[in-house]
Amino acid sequence: MASWNAKPTPRRGGQRKYSDVAIETALTLRLLLHLPLRQTEGFLRSIFELMGVSLDVPDHTTMSRRSASLAVSLRVRPRAGSINLVIDSSGLSTFGEGQWAAVKHGGKGIQGWRKLHLGVDENGAIVAQALTNANVDDATTGISLIDEVNSKIKTVIADGATVISDDAYDTSSFYAAAESRGARVVVPPDKTATVGGDLSRDRDRAVRRIRKVGRRQWKTEVGYHRQAQVENTFFRLKTILGDRMRARGEDAQRTEAVIACNMLNQMTELGRPESYSIGM
């Protein structure tokens, strides 16, 4: 409450009335409760009236305008030791400014897609994220996720070839980025993969082991089952917050994605049980 109003600046001209904290709070409630901006404005006003708080509420136009330039960073709780980084991506439907305008004037809007890339640790916390166009290469964005992680990385786990992508994360640049951080790479090689390519020693070892014990046994040995951690994170995101983006502009969509990740991280932290071993 103390930081709700923006502090005055020495710049000439009109001053901002609401701080970034106020705008982020409003956008967080909007995303959590699946509200349009006008309803978010009314909801906040009702909450303040019930609390007896004499704070003004940003109108829906201000929320929309400020969301495109809001400086929101991914909040990651520092961890001691190395992490197992699991990377994947999933699509979120959008209804952009152009499509919305077409419908408004009697045309037919075409639904678009944005791709959300997440890096998750073994506890389910999101430690890196990026929002891109649907046609952006997964491996290229995966490299930026690896670079974004501040903790030491023990293992990087990601998908190999999929129905959507012939290579997914099975590329030389992805291996190089992970190995430059001292991490072991666990990515299922293509079924036609051969030993002695220019990708990685980790990949060559995987190809040899798969030939010897089979793909299923190899996945068990290297801990590929941790890939389910990031899949569970996407399931939670789409179940709690929905499978589409509410913001129309690309900058506002990036803001929305970071807020969504921060919300999931906070829910994960609050809902995690205190686990400890006991004597038999």
Cβ atoms of 123 and 83 within 8 Å: the answer is no
- Distance from chain centroid for Cα 253: 12
What domains can be seen in the chain, in order of their start residue? Answer: 1-71 (no CATH), 82-270 (3.30.420.10)
pLDDT digits (tens, 9 = 90+) for 68-97: 999 999 999 888 889 999 999 999 988 655
- Please, which pLDDT band fits residue 183 given cuts at 50, 70 and 90? very high
Q: What pLDDT, on the 0 to 100 scale, is given for residue 251?
A: 93
pLDDT at 198 over 70: no
Q: What is the mean pLDDT of the segment spanning 205-231? A: 91
Can you give the pTM of this predicted structure?
0.85
- Please, which pLDDT band fits residue 65 given cuts at 50, 70 and 90? very high
Q: What is the mean pLDDT of the segment spanning 255-278? A: 86
Q: What is the mean pLDDT of the segment spanning 168-191? A: 90
Q: What pLDDT, on the 0 to 100 scale, is given for residue 10?
A: 73
pLDDT at 102 over 60: no
pLDDT digits (tens, 9 = 90+) for 49-58: 999 999 999 9
* Percent with pLDDT over 70 in the chain: 88
pLDDT digits (tens, 9 = 90+) for 223-250: 999 999 999 999 999 999 999 999 988 9
Q: Which of 78-87, 120-129, 228-237, 271-280 has the lowest mean pLDDT?
A: 271-280
- Distance from chain centroid for Cα 229: 13
Quote the radius of gyration of the chain (alpha carbons, Å).
22
Q: What pLDDT, on the 0 to 100 scale, is given for residue 26?
A: 96
Q: What pLDDT, on the 0 to 100 scale, is given for residue 8?
A: 78
Q: What pLDDT, on the 0 to 100 scale, is given for residue 180?
A: 92
pLDDT at 163 over 50: no
Distances (CA, A) of 150 to 34, 78, 223, 249, 269: 32, 9, 23, 29, 19
**CB count, 10 Å around CB of 183?**
23
C-alpha–C-alpha distance, residues 118 and 174, integer Å: 15
Exposed/middle/buried for residue 256 (C-beta within 10 Å: 0-12, 13-18, 19+) = buried
More confident residue, 270 or 96: 270
Which residues lie closer than 8 Å to 108 by C-beta, 6 or more apart? 102
C-alpha–C-alpha distance, residues 104 and 101, integer Å: 5
Which residues does residue 120 pair with via DSSP β-bridges, in sequence order? Answer: 86, 126
Which residues lie closer than 8 Å to 185 by C-beta, 6 or more apart? 155, 156, 174, 175, 178, 179, 200, 202, 203
Average per-residue pLDDT in the chain?
87
3-state secondary structure the chain: CCCCECCCCCCCCCCCCECHHHHHHHHHHHHHHCCCHHHHHHHHHHHHHHHCCCCCCCCHHHHHHHHCCCCCCCCCCCCCCEEEEEEEEEEEEECCHHHHHHHHCCCCCCCEEEEEEEEECCCCCEEEEEEEECCCCHHHHHHHHHHHCCCEEEEEECCCCCCCCCCCCCCHHHHHHHHHCCCEEECCCCCCCCCCCCCCHHHHHHHHHHHHHCHHHHHHHHCHHHHHHHHHHHHHHHHHCCCECCCCCHHHHHHHHHHHHHHHHHHHHHHCCCCCCCCC
Which residues lie closer than 8 Å to 36 by C-beta, 6 or more apart? 30, 60
